[in-house]
Structure 1
Amino acid sequence: MRIKTGQVTMQLCTALFLLGISAVAPVKHSLEYFYTLSSEAPNFPEFVAVILVDEVQIIHYNRNMKSAEPKQDWVNKITEDIPAYWEKRTERLKLNQEMFKSIIETAKPCLNYTGGLYIVQGILSCDWDDESDEVNVFTQFGYDGEDFLSLDMKTQTWIPLHQQAVVVKELLDNNKPLLTYFKHYFTQECRHWLKKFLNYGKSSLMRKDLPSVSLLQKTPSSPLTCHATGFYPDRADLFWKKDEEELHEDVVKGEILPNHDGSFQMSVDLDLSGLKDEDWGRYSCVFHLAVGQEVSKRLDKRDIRTNWREKRSRDKGFPSAVVVGLLLLAIIALFLLWRRNIQTSESSPSSGEDPAVKKEISEKQTMLQTT
């Protein structure tokens, strides 16, 4: 496993800043090839290859595809310089697949393989320092989910990482063409292609966006959430610190999630249950981007965004709102009933106008006249 130097660089830059010395941290870029070879894995291609620049996937290929394909639009710019790039890249990946298979066939007797499922994974990468122009390389293989072999390019020997890999190491040390291939790749090709990809994708790969940082809390008893959104790239960290020292207890860190615009967001919760009022000013939430840029937000009650006060006010006002609403409905219903009665009485004949009564009066008048 490689040792990441990001935290060491951050501490060094901080120390120089405190001493009043200005410093520009060098930027390291990486080109990584991830390979997976499997046998009899259900619903999974026999061979998969993924290529990343600065941890951003740029090319994908698997055994079931006719050609490798770009995962970023800017990668297609390469065809302006190399029109047949995708054909050549696809052919190269097919050769990588055959190389993997030949290594496995050579190693099968040492692995006591008798058939069935197996998974072999490999990573080839180089890191380039844009200030010193130094390149560090890394090659490692895994077998069935466990570290298996790594390659030391300085001595050009294989390092066994598993007991079963000891015999395989001896076989691969004697494979001079394979060692020659790796040496040529790491000394010539890796730096060349990394610089090429960085040039094509600089508008995207070199993009550095700092986030907006907010303090959020659902209720006074809930954990306090520090939320950072809108940052790019996703090589970032978000943490709570007390008196300039990072906190690990009473802290729950969330995952980095994508936003719809291509930027990212993340959050980290802090348990406030044991926090005294006089200690609030000693806490800060810090966002750190991989290139060394930071955003810090000190813990202040006035900056906490919450809706629990408004919600409680709405809840308290709910019964009176219901009463007022019911009263209005009752008034409307009474008004409609009164109006209907009025309309009915106006359209109905009066008691003196009843036809039966009129007929009786008419008959009596006729009898009087005849007598």
Structure 2
Amino acid sequence: MMELIYLLVLFQTTHSVKHSLTYFLTSSSGLQNFPRFVAVSKVDGVPVGYCDSSKKTAEPRQDWVQKLKEEEPEHVQWHIQNCLDAIHDFQRDLDQFRQHFNHTEGVHVLQELSVCEWDSDTDEIIGYQQLGYDGEDILSVDTKTVKWKFTEKAAFFKQKRDKDKARLIFNTNFLTHYCPQWLKQYIVYGRRYLLRKDRPSVSLLQKTPSSAVSCHATGFYPDRALMFWSKDGEEIHEGVEHGEILPNHDGTFQMTVDLNVSSAEDWRRYHCVFQFVGAEDRIITELDQAAIRTNRVSSSVSHALIAIGVVLIFLVFPVFLAVITVCVLRRRRRRNG
């Protein structure tokens, strides 16, 4: 209770931030050397728990989750039990889909995505759940009306799920009650990690003189960030292409935004701007041709390499010629001797 009170005090002094707890559940068939069921949980994109059909237990993925496990063991016990239940339920549902579509061979996958989001400022909770088979949406849960929503492909599945009212109520309660409660607990225990802000290193990249200039930011956390190009202090959209925010191996993130700019323009009028959502400070990088990193060789460097090559030829060739001359003379002496 004291930690939840601390949480409320903590967020009164910070910007409004939306946090999320996500569960990825996957059941598969036809894969070699891979568990038939895998469950992964993430808080704000950071892995916090793992379970599969081989180990049949819930494992923490962060040190602060281990502390939560020690202080509140019932939290982990709930996840262990639900992992065991999900292994059986998902395999049964996957077999039904395979049988219905006559998928007796090959790789087939049944996946469930469950997400709850919490706005620390408004205390608003949003929860949603989706089920997919072989990459196509099958059904979702409407937490407001407490109903299943089916796609045309899952029409055969509708009758079975409509009868399972207990499962619908459980999923709805999970998304609107248990999931947000655990999300707040995770943020309390992992606040030093989850609430930190790591500023990125920003670089300007270009493949060829005619290609777009890429502004690349990497090493930032959290992933709630935006980046854009500006001209004369105003954000521009024409000639700009935004890339996705991608994870790095160390838990940070990276992103890229490209700009197509004419060589005839004054490049100093352009700037790349990085900013965390909700923050006022920005990282502004001027479009300076001298600062652009590239894998191409400049003309000055090419001329220098050519000059060095010529010098080496003139230095090495006489030595090479002398060696050949000595060899020829020795052969002649042997023949004459």
Query: TM-score, normalization: structure 2?
Result: 0.74
- Is 1:44 the counterpart of 2:2? The answer is no
Match of 1:352 in 2: none
Which residue of the partner structure matches residue 176 of structure 1?
165
Aligned with 2:199 (options 204, 210, 215): 210
Q: Compute the displacement of 1:202 (Å).
A: 0.9
Partner of 2:264: 276
Q: Which residue of 1 aligns with 2:154?
A: 165
Residue of structure 2 equivalent to 1:29: 19
Ranked by relative contact order (alpha carbons within 8 Å, sequence separation 6 or more), the top structure is: 2
Structure 1 segments unaligned to the other structure (5+ residues) = 1-23, 331-371
* CA-CA distance at 1:28 after TM superposition: 0.8
Partners of 1:66 and 1:230 in 2: how far apart? 34
Counterparts in 2 of 1:9-88, with a 5 A limit? 26-83=16-73, 86-88=76-78
Q: How far is 1:212 from its partner?
A: 3.4
Q: Helix, strand or coil: the match of 2:258?
A: strand
Question: Distance between the aligned counterparts of 2:65 and 2:238, measured in 1?
Answer: 40
Question: What is the Cα deviation at residue 32 of structure 1?
Answer: 1.0
The alignment status of 1:240 with 2:229, answered yes or no, reads: yes
Would you say 1:301 and 2:291 are equivalent positions?
Answer: no
What does residue 187 of structure 1 align with? 176
The worse-fitting range, judged by mean Cα deviation, of 57-66 and 233-242 is 233-242
User: Contact (CA 8 Å) 2:127, 2:176: kept in 1 or not?
Assistant: no
Report deviation, 1:201: 1.0
Q: Deviations over 1:49-88 (max 9, x none)?
A: 0101112111111111242222222210112312465454
Structure 1 residue 298: deviation in Å? Answer: 5.7
Q: What SS is found at the alignment partner of 1:98?
A: helix
Taking structure 1 as reference, are residues 67 and 146 closer, same or farther at Cα in structure 2, changes over 3 Å only? same
CA positional deviation for 1:95: 1.2
Q: 1:318 to 1:32 in 2, by over 3 A?
A: closer
With over 3 angstroms needed to count, the CA separation of the structure-2 counterparts of 1:291 and 1:72, relative to structure 1, is farther
- Partner of 2:273 in structure 1? 286
Number of aligned residue pairs? 306
**Cα distance in structure 1, aligned partners of 2:245 and 2:119:** 28
Question: Are 1:213 and 1:297, in contact at CA under 8 Å, matched by a contact in 2?
Answer: no
Cα deviations by residue, 1:149-171 (Å, 9 ceiling, x for unpaired): 011111111111x3132342233
For structure 2, list consecutive stretches of 5 or more residues without a partner in the other structure: 1-13, 318-337
Q: 1: distance between equivalents of 2:264 and 2:308?
A: 39
Distance 1:69 1:297 in 2: 41
TM-score by length of 1: 0.68
Q: How many angstroms does 1:203 deviate by?
A: 0.9
**How many Å separate the matches in 1 of 2:26 and 2:54?**
13
Q: Are 2:130 and 2:139, in contact at CA under 8 Å, matched by a contact in 1? A: yes
Structure number with bigger Rg: 1
Look up the SS of the partner of 2:215 in the other structure. Answer: strand
Decide whether the 8 Å contact of 2:94 with 2:109 is kept in 1.
no
Two-structure CA RMSD over aligned residues (Å): 3.8
- Residue type matched to 1:267 in 2? T
